[in-house]
Amino acid sequence: MACLIITKGEDVGKYYQLGNRTLAGGRDPAREIQIVDATVSRKHFLIRKEGDGHVIVELKAKNGVYINGQRCAQKLLADGDEIRVGNTVLTYYLADQPDRTNALNQYRMGQRELREDRTLSE
């Protein structure tokens, strides 16, 4: 199963296991992939399953989505792609990293208070 790992930014090492469900990313605490970065839009991007891989789609984010340094509105991700949103970089891997704790579990377990404490206003 594919995954995303934050490799630069506030939460370096945070791990998101990707499955068949579409996931939303951004600064908003309601996003499954919350990125605490003032340069990230509240609703910045979506990642959805397509075939054997995943597609990232920008949601009209002010600072855009960059894949390996190039701005993209939508792109099928390849193993090792670096996704930059604001000042945060996530790396996409096709292989799962079973030794890591899935950050989506915290989201699903209702730790909303913790997520809202980390939300940046603006």
| Lookup: tokens for 19 | 């499955």
- Per-residue pLDDT tens digits for 96-105: 777 777 887 7
Residue type, 30: A
The reported pLDDT for the residue numbered 98 is 74
Q: Is the pTM of this model over 0.85?
A: no
> Residue 68 corresponds to which tokens in the numbers above?
């390996």
**79-117 burial by CB neighbour count: b if 16+ within 10 A, else e?**
eebebbbbebbbbbbbeeeeeeebbbeebeeeeeeebee
pLDDT for position 3:
94
**How many CB atoms are closer than 10 A to CB 65?**
23
Q: pLDDT tens digits for 6-38?
A: 999 999 999 999 989 999 999 998 899 999 999
Band of the pLDDT at 109, cuts 50, 70, 90? low
Between CA 66 and CA 60, with CA 79 as vertex, the angle to 5 degrees is 25
